[in-house]
Each structure stands twice: as C-alpha cells, then as structure tokens.
Amino acid sequence: MTDISPVTVVTSGNAAKAAIQAGNTLSRVLEDADGPILLLFSGGSALKILDSLRPNVFSSCVTFTVLDERCSSDPAASNYLKVLMHPVMKKAIGRGARSINTTASAGETPTKLAAKFEHELRKWKIQFPDGKIIATVGMGPDGHTFGMIPYAEDPLAFDRMFVHTDHWVVGYDAGDKNQYPLRVTTTVPFAGLITASIWYVSGQEKTVMLQRAMDPSIPVHVVPARIILDMNDVTLFTDCPLTK
C-alpha cells in the first residue's frame, strides 16, 4: 500500500485480487459507517467489486444507485439493472436497502432522465443532510470516469457540462465518442460531495491512462479520471503499475 497524496493506492499482481480487496474494503466502510448511507456504483469492470461485497453490511440505512446511466431502451445496457440483479444486491434489498431507479422510460430523453435522477439525489440529501455518500469508481481505457467522456478538443464544452454547473446530474449526447452515446452522469460538483470513494481500475491496457490520471498537470477534460486527485478519502485498487 502506498500513498500518492491524496490517494491511497493498493496495487496487486492481478485484477481478480484487486477486485476482492476493493470489495472487502467497501464492506468494511459500510459496516463502520454510522447513520444513513447513499451508495453509488460505477458500471463496467468496476461492477466486479460487487462479487466480494458482504450482504450483511446492508440495512434500511442504505440507499443505493449508480454514478452514471446509459439512456437506452435496452435493459441489458442499464447500469442500474446490472447492479439491481446482482445476487448480493438482491440480498441487500431483502435486508431493507432501498434504491434509486435510473432506468430510462420509453422515449425518455437524457435531459429528462437526468432531472429525475438529480431530484432523487437532492431529496435524499435534504432528508439526510449528515448522511455519508460512498461511491465505487472505475475508469475506461479512454480515461473516462463516472459518465464523463473526454473532450480534449473542446474544453469549454466539457467544463460547461460537467464542471462549471449547478447540476448534480446531466444528460447529454456523446455522439461517436462512445458505444452508448445517450448518457446521464453525475458531475464534478456532485463528486465533491462524496465522502469516500473506492476506485477499481484493472487491465494493463489502462496503465498509461491511469498514470496520466494520477498526474496533476493533466486537465480533466483530457482525462476525466484525473478528478481522482480532487476527491475526498480515495482508495485505489489496481493491477496497473503506476511508475512510468
């Protein structure tokens, strides 16, 4: 374990071990937390954290949802449904955990879905002003995190959508930048509200991008995962070497 201020980094020899370590750490964080918890899961490979998550850490104090969603009529594309259908989360619901549904209704636009999602997040925060917000976070090979796609060619567009905004959630069309262009994501201002986050980044193909994400000189519109250096209480689990 090493500290790359302000991130605690736990490197492992393989991705499976890193995922287990991340899941065990999340279990301890949930077990030790006092009071209401809002738990947000990242999609993609970071969902492997769920495989090692202990269901007995859940109770009616926990509300879970996702960091970002794909605005698609295809249920197989939904990050929320992937979390909801995981065996651990089925047990969590049985123990009283609640959820915020982010699936898109037929014909629903990213903007409308984002507004609905943000309303639910703000409602939770009003109800539990001292509650803890915990997140699992991953990173794509292109450096995207949450649902924020890189806009290296248009920093103003990135800043307008994700950084200099009053919104906690935005919906947008990423065009040809991603397989799922219609996206809904929590924003950088919301990331600042997260009490603690557990990052899981696996795959040697992500090594160079992760090294860039850990470089404070890299702008977030080029590598959105660079926000890892700006977030509270971050622990990163990875099988990628961080020394260049």
205: exposed, middle or buried (Cβ count in 10 Å: 0-12, 13-18, 19+): exposed
Is 1 a residue whose pLDDT tops 70? no
Distance of CA 239 to the CA centre of its chain: 19
Would you call 116 helix, strand, or coil by DSSP? helix
User: Do β-strands 2-4 and 169-173 pair in parallel, antiparallel, or remain unpaired?
Assistant: unpaired
pLDDT digits (tens, 9 = 90+) for 94-135: 999 999 999 998 889 999 999 999 999 999 999 999 999 999
Whether 112 maps to a domain, the answer reads yes
Is residue 131 situated within a structural domain? yes
Q: Which domain holds residue 36?
A: 2-203+226-238
Least confident piece of the model among 19-28, 41-50, 175-184: 175-184
**4-8, 66-70, 205-209: range with lowest mean pLDDT:** 4-8
Q: Domain holding 114: CATH number? A: 3.40.50.1360
Residue 175 lies inside a defined structural domain of this protein: yes
Domain membership of residue 221 (yes or no) is: no
Query: What would the mean pLDDT of 65-87 be, rounded to a whole number?
Result: 92
Q: What are the two backbone dihedrals, phi and then psi, of residue 113, each rounded to the nearest 5 degrees?
A: -65, -40
What pTM did the predictor assign? 0.95
Taking 60 as the threshold, does the pLDDT of residue 29 lie above it? yes
How many domains does the chain divide into?
Answer: 1
